[in-house]
Amino acid sequence: MRMEGSLLRESGERPLPEEMRSRAPRSRGRPRLEYRPRVRSADDVLTLRRHHVPAVLITPDWVSRHGYPVEFRPWLAVPAQLSGKFSSDFRILPVKDADALRDPGIAEMVTLLLRFDPLAARLVAVRNRHQLDPNELYRRVRNEGVEAPATRVRLQEFAPAIPKVGSPLSRSELRWVEKNNPPVAEAA
């Protein structure tokens, strides 16, 4: 058995713009016209969010603004049950907890980074320690099931309730990573 999700327009809502829709193949018993949102730019993601679809574009600029200069291809984070419903040029990152995408903060960003760059997640946590809520970080890590990468980069230092799964990197390795990745210089 598998879980499927759909994007349904509520009464009174305007449909997505025509350029953001593509027809999905019709399967037996489904409505005659089913559309897949096409996401090709950051503006498309903003349009989805305006239509109450929880989606976040994770870009290098987004991570760099929080103290860790990094380069990678952007990821489109969407709820897991909707991950197959998008046509996108971005890599799709399915997220188990859709509420994490509604208004993402530091704890959500750290949790999403754990999925593809755990060292970046640690450095963002270190450099934003004053904004990081340990209870929120614990809840997000547990909901996403990323306890092993969290243990690997010792996120228990920020949220002691996170269960330890596997073996962590040594403190000297983590200090080396932190020392050799200077924070982004603030613009004056």
Q: Is residue 186 in a domain?
A: no
Q: Would you place residue 153 in the very low, low, confident or very high pLDDT band (cuts 50, 70, 90)? A: very high
- Mean pLDDT, all residues of the chain: 83
Q: Is residue 22 in a domain?
A: no
| Cα(162)–Cα(164) distance, integer angstroms | 6
Q: Are 75 and 58 in contact (CB under 8 A)?
A: yes
- Strand ordering across the sheet containing 21-23: 21-23, 35-39, 87-88
Q: Is residue 78 in a domain?
A: yes
Q: Across residues 74-98, what is the average pLDDT?
A: 89
Number of domain units in the chain: 1
Q: Is residue 153 in a domain?
A: yes
List, for residues 22-56, the tens digit of each pLDDT value.
666 666 766 666 667 888 899 988 988 888 888 99
